[in-house]
Structures are given as C-alpha cells and as structure tokens.
Chains A and B, each alone.
Chain A
Amino acid sequence: MTDVVIAGIGQTEVGEHWEASLRELGAEAIRAAVKDSGGLLPQALFVGNMLAPNLSRQAHVGALIADYAGYGGIEAVTVEAAGASGGAALRQGYLAIASGLVDVALVLGVEKFTDKIGPDVDEALATAFDSDYEAMQGLTLTAQAALVMKRYMHEFNVPADGFAGFPVAAHANGAGNKNAMFQKAIKPEVYAKAEMVSEPLNMFDVAPNADGAAALVLTRRELLPQGDFSQPLVKIIASANASDALALHDRSEPLTFSAAKISVEQALQKAGIALEVIDFFEYHDAFSIYAALSLEAAGFAAPGQGWTLASDGSITLKGRIPTATLGGLKARGYPGGASGVYQAVEAVLQLRGSAGANQLNGAMFGMIQSLGGPASTAVTHILQRPD
C-alpha cells in the first residue's frame, strides 16, 4: 500500500478563548496546517468535534468551517465519537487518502467549550455516556472516573499518592509546550495537597476543559515531488478504531479498557511492529485513572500495574515509555473532540525532530490513542519518522 503522509500541521494555543468562535479557531488551525504543507489544496475536510451542537448550538460544522476557511465547495463532514472525535476524524481522513479516492485531505479537530459555562458543560460532556442509564441518573464523567479509580485503588492496593506521577510528568512536559494551557511544572507535594474534585480524584487528576483547534494535511507520498518537500513527511503506518459498551455496568471488566486493547493490537498488527519498538505514547489522560488503564490496555503494564509506570518515572521523557510528551490532556489541556488531532500534531513534532525542549532522542515510532468516554471508542494510530 502506498504511504499516507502528514504533509502539514497546525494548532492554536489551548486555553479559554473567550473572544474566538468555533469557526475562527478551526480556520486558524487550518490556515497554519495548509501553510505548513507548502500550500497543498485540500479536496476534503474531516472535522472532529463533539460539543458544538450542545454548547454552540451548531451542527453541520464540516460545511461551516470549510466555507469559513475559504474552501467552500469541497467535501466536508463532521465526525463524532465523543472525546475520540479527533482520532476518528483522523481515521476517516486516513481511509480517504489510503483508498485513493481523495488525494489531499484536511483533518481538523476543533472544540469550543467556553460558549457555555458550569453545569451546562458537565451536562454536554455527559452525553458521551449511555444517556438512558447513566447520564439520566446524574452521573458525570468525572464522578464515573472517580468510581473507577476508587475500585482500582481497592483492587490493586494503590496508595493515596499512587497516581501523582501522571500529572507531575504531564505538567513537566507542558512547561516545554508554548501552546499548552498549563506551562508550569508541579511538585508531588502540590498534588498531595490539592483539593478533591470527586474523591479520590483531586484537581490534578482531572484534565482541564479547554478551547482549541488542531489540523493536519494528509496526502500520499507518491503525489508529492521527489526529493525535498517543505516539511519532513511523517508516515501514518497504522490506523485502528474499536468500540465497547457505553455504560460501565454493561462491561464484564469495568477496570479494563478493552476497546483500547483491541485497537492497539490491531494497529500493531497492521504496522507489522512489536509494542517494544514504540518510542512514545500519546495517551488520552482525561483522568489519571484513564492514563493508568490505557497503559495497561496497550500492554505497557500488566493489569493493576499501570500506575507504577508513573510512580517509577517510566513515563517521563527520559523513561522507558514517554507519554504526554508535550503535556497531554492534563497540561496541554483537553479540547474535547480536538484532542486526538492535537496528539497527532504533537507526535509529528516529535518525529520531525521539532519538539524543542521536549524532543525525544531518535524517536522512530509514535503511538497516539484517542478515547471517547471511558474508552467506549478507542482510536489508535501509529506514526513513523520520515526515512
């Protein structure tokens, strides 16, 4: 199969963009990505977005942003898979290019939280759940993550500060990312003293909701001029998407992210590589417990042992399997359905050798994973450094 490559990347700062609208954020990221690609002309736009119909009263985001960004007329569609919307949009772009039906595709992740505030946002996020059985009972994503974490800590005898390493590592990496919402490292003592959000989740176990947009330009290597291109071309060597029951009570193993497990296995198989050669992992650390369960699902740790990779430093930039290398959801910020595209942009920066202070030495393969809800959708991609 021909190589699908990422020819351009773009992103806005992640944060509370009170004065920028959904379409403005989207267009800004698109302009940056197209410029980065040397001006490739897209034929299709795949937008990952979760909350616009709820928070901005705006569906039909694909056509809206294609038009606003100056590409009126092209194919444009929104892809929705809750928090995994960005990863799912990337997969749609990948399929379109790999199939040969589209030559140049834009993938955009965009989320605008701050059109609403407070309980309206919690309610919108809870639509990622099984609405009839979970959201209806008043469950929020944070409260559910707290229940899962509590059970996990009980089952596997995890100490109270067992998860501290996740936000500490993420914030240390956020300090090197000028687009991150939080660019300040934190100490374990700060974690220990932080206010509870939903016991046992404290403030630092929860990624902050944020506005942001990230974009990619995808094409096939063969369509580009040989020799020098404007940017080193990072290859997408595997794409996999798996699903699981939305409701936690419909799962036989509530402490296993089985969709994440399946999508990683499929991605590795398609890439034809072993997990051991993966150099870094951009996971969906919406909550510290998600980070632990994602590491276990991918196979980096045995069940019940994911948290130890945080406490022993394995997930830091110098560790065995660096994660959240530019801050992750926790420190870069959680721009909802845009998160999966941010992960791709950040993986490209690592593989191009453009990650600045956070650059990993000699990284060849990066794995990125975008989750919807508690891994009810799990989209995994593996990216490879340019030859």
Chain B
Amino acid sequence: MTTPHPQHSPTLLKPANPVGIIGYGAYVPRYRLPAKEVARVWTGKTGGLPIKEKAVPGLDEDVITMSIEAARNAMLRAQIDPQELRAVWVGSESHPYAVKPTSTLVAEAIGAVPNTQAADWEFACKAGTEAMVAAMGLVGSGMAHYAMAVGMDTAQGKPGDALEYTAGAGGAAYIVGPAEEALAVINASYSYVTDTPDFWRREYQKYPEHGMRFTGEPAYFKHITEAAKILMEAAGTTAKDYKWAVFHQPNTKFPQRAAGMLGFSMEQIEPGLLVPVIGNTYAGAAMIGLTGILDIAQPGERILMVSFGSGAGSDAFDILVTEKLNERRERATKTQEYIARRTEIDYASYVRFRGKLAMK
C-alpha cells in the first residue's frame, strides 16, 4: 500500500473570507483520579506512570452537560447573539446517545435554535478540530457569520488497560467568525489522513481497543509531524516563527517528543500541555490545550495547533493572536482555574462515578 505524497496537490485550507476565533471556552470536571491510584489497584504500584492524574466527570455530567459549560464560556467571551450562530457542531468519542444528537441539546441550551446547523462529529480524537475546519469553511464562504465547534470527551478506558491511567474528561468550544472580529486569526489549516487502524471501538463495545506500540510511530507521530511539516512548509514558517504550539496529548511523553521532532522547545508547548493534570481528553485534548495558551498569549504571537485522531489523521492550524484577546479572555473562567478546582477521588469512587460496576 502506498500513500501518495500530499505535496503534489494544493495544501493549505484558506477560506475566501479570512476567519478567526471570536470566543473560546474550556471545561474540566472537578474530580481527579491520580495515576498512582490506578497503579495501586492494578499493578501493586509498579511501573511508570504516563501522567500525574486525570479529570473524572461527576455522576450528573456527560459530554452534553460539559459541552454546554464550555459553549457558555465561549459565548461569554464572544458576546454575540446566539441567534447569529449558524452551526453548533460537537466532536466527541463519548456522545451519550448513539442516535440523537448532542449538538441539538447544546444549541438549545445556549439559545442558538432553531435557525442553525447542528450535528455530532466523529473522528476519534480529532472530531472537534474537524468541526473547526468545517466552521472555517462555513464562515469563510460567507454562508454563516458565526459557527461553533466543540471538542469534548468523557473518555473510556478498560479497567486495568494502559488507557485507564489517562482516559480523562474535558474539552473546549470555539466560535469561528470573521477575522476582523477575532481574538485570534486562523491563517490556514491543513489536514493529513490515511487508513491507519491504530485504535478503535466498534458499535456496542464499551471500551476501545488499540494496537499498542502501533499507536505511536506509524500513527500518532507520523500524522502529527507530517501535518505540521506540510502546513509550515506551505505557510513558509518554521518552529521559530511560533511563540506557542499545542499537540494532541494522549500522555505526557508523546507531545513532548513530537515537539522535539518538529523543532519546538518545551517552553513553547508548556502552557498547552495539560495532559499531566487532566488526562487525555481525546476530542477535547488539542482544543483545550489551545485554551491554556490563549489564556496567557499576547497580541502578535503565533500559535501552531495540531490534533490527532486515530484511524488516522491530523488537523494543523496556523493561528495569530490579535489585540482583542486581552480583554475577552477575562470574561470567563480560565482553564488553569478549572484545573485548580480539584477534588481527589479514590479508585472506588471512580468506579461508581463512571458506572463501571455491573449492578445486574
């Protein structure tokens, strides 16, 4: 099997009308399960830990309620009429319903119905950024003034599996609109996809399966680095042109290594590297990482965001912060504030909260 080199075709996705981020909002549930607590139960405390701890949703939380929290934060920052949103799109691997959209509930809750697109997106961990690319298209074509894209997950990890240490909960919402109103302009995006079966969950399965180390080199690293390299080559940039970068973060090491491979320093990824303290938020991971950066970025600073979704593909975004950010970011709860709002739980509470006990 060969994959044609994408450089033979046009690369950058650049809308006819310039677009940008009008508002953004994060959400992280309160509860934290330390990785060492998972190790205590399953391995007698032996073995290395991929993160410090992960965020766990409470008993009455799911991707719908969490998306609404993030969407409301984005609306607080954007200060727009919700009726002007012409799309509410939610990307997730953990939509509560198999049939019945998450997005209509979110749209209803923020007052965006009925004159709007609403749909749920699925592409493993890059469902949310795929929705962002679609929002760029909808706004950039002139069909809509504003569109919302959410990436949110309450990730599933099989008890005892390597993924249980990291499968976290959280995500972010973005409102895309005209560049002149934006707190950060999205210069362009680029997507790189192949048929790479590194991680999957079939219909009616409770937990995903994965290809162990196959998820690394030929999946995560190949797609992230190719998407980033091709975007930067087409944009005429190098790692030095970006003040900040954020990569999909399934554990602490992967994004650090990807950054190194692409020439980025640990300082450049530090504010967006949230996985050590909230876990892998799957479709929310790169997007909430970007909120961590926007919470501190200054006008004129350039940001590279690269998501990764198993199956597999990466979306890369070239983003430039404008002077509108400083004022807008103060209008809603910051990501680090959510991270600081922390209640530690033990494995037993985690099992109860996540419905892992078979009651009958």
Contact = CB atoms under 8 A, between A and B. Distances in A.
Given A195-B46, A196-B46, A117 B212 contact: yes
Nearest to B215: A117
B61 to A, nearest CB: 33
Interface in B209-265: 211-214, 217-218
B214 A117 contact: yes
Question: What is the predominant secondary structure among interface residues of chain B facing chain A?
Answer: helix
Nearest to A118: B212
A18 B46 CA distance: 29
A67 interface: no
Contacts of A16: 213, 217
Nearest to A117: B212
A19 B218 contact: yes
A18 B214 contact: yes
Contacts of A196: 46
A384 B217 CA distance: 40
A18 B218 contact: yes
B212 A18 contact: no
A196 B46 CA distance: 9
Interface in B261-307: none
Nearest to A15: B217
A120 to B, nearest CB: 11
Nearest to B219: A18
A276 B90 CA distance: 73
Interface string A14-26: 0010110000000
A18 B216 CA distance: 11
Nearest to B217: A18
B47 interface: yes
Contacts of B217: 16, 18
Contacts of A258: none
Interface in A102-123: 114, 117-118
B197 to A, nearest CB: 11
Interface string B40-68: 00000011100000000000000000000
Nearest to B1: A19
A119 to B, nearest CB: 11
Interface in B128-159: none
Interface in A75-119: 114, 117-118
B165 to A, nearest CB: 15
B102 to A, nearest CB: 33
Contacts of A195: 46-48
Nearest to A19: B218
Interface residues of A, number: 8
B46 A117 contact: no
Interface in B56-95: none
Nearest to A114: B214
Interface in B165-213: 211-213
A153 B326 CA distance: 67
B47 A117 contact: no
Name the residue among A16, A18, A118 with the largest chain B CB count within 10 angstroms.
A18
Name the residue among B47, B48, B218 with the largest chain A CB count within 10 angstroms.
B218
A118 B215 CA distance: 13
B58 to A, nearest CB: 34
Contacts of B48: 195
A16 B214 CA distance: 9
Contacts of B212: 117-118
B35 to A, nearest CB: 16
A118 B211 CA distance: 8
B310 to A, nearest CB: 14
Nearest to A16: B213
Nearest to B43: A195
A16 B48 CA distance: 22
A144 to B, nearest CB: 22
Interface in A185-228: 195-196
Interface in A1-54: 16, 18-19
A13 to B, nearest CB: 13
Contacts of B46: 195-196
B55 to A, nearest CB: 27
Contacts of B218: 18-19
B1 to A, nearest CB: 8
A19 B196 CA distance: 11
Nearest to B213: A16
A117 B218 CA distance: 14
A195 B47 CA distance: 7
Contacts of B211: 117
Interface string A288-321: 0000000000000000000000000000000000
Contacts of A118: 212
A198 B72 CA distance: 52
A85 B48 CA distance: 36
Contacts of A114: 214
Contacts of A18: 214, 217-218
A191 B46 CA distance: 15
A113 to B, nearest CB: 11
A353 to B, nearest CB: 35
A15 to B, nearest CB: 9
A117 B211 CA distance: 7
Nearest to B212: A117
Nearest to B198: A18
Nearest to B48: A195
A192 to B, nearest CB: 15
A196 B213 CA distance: 19
A206 B46 CA distance: 18
A194 to B, nearest CB: 11
Nearest to A21: B1
Contacts of A19: 218
B327 to A, nearest CB: 48
A114 B212 CA distance: 11
B40 to A, nearest CB: 16
A18 B221 CA distance: 13
Nearest to B2: A19
B225 to A, nearest CB: 15
A257 B133 CA distance: 63
Interface of A: 16, 18-19, 114, 117-118, 195-196
7 contacts: A16-B213, A18-B218, A117-B211, A117-B212, A195-B46, A195-B47, A196-B46
Given A16-B213, A16-B217, 14 more contacts: A18-B214, A18-B217, A18-B218, A19-B218, A114-B214, A117-B211, A117-B212, A117-B213, A117-B214, A118-B212, A195-B46, A195-B47, A195-B48, A196-B46
Interface of B: 46-48, 211-214, 217-218
The 6 closest A-B pairs by CB, nearest first: A18-B218, A117-B212, A117-B211, A118-B212, A195-B47, A18-B214
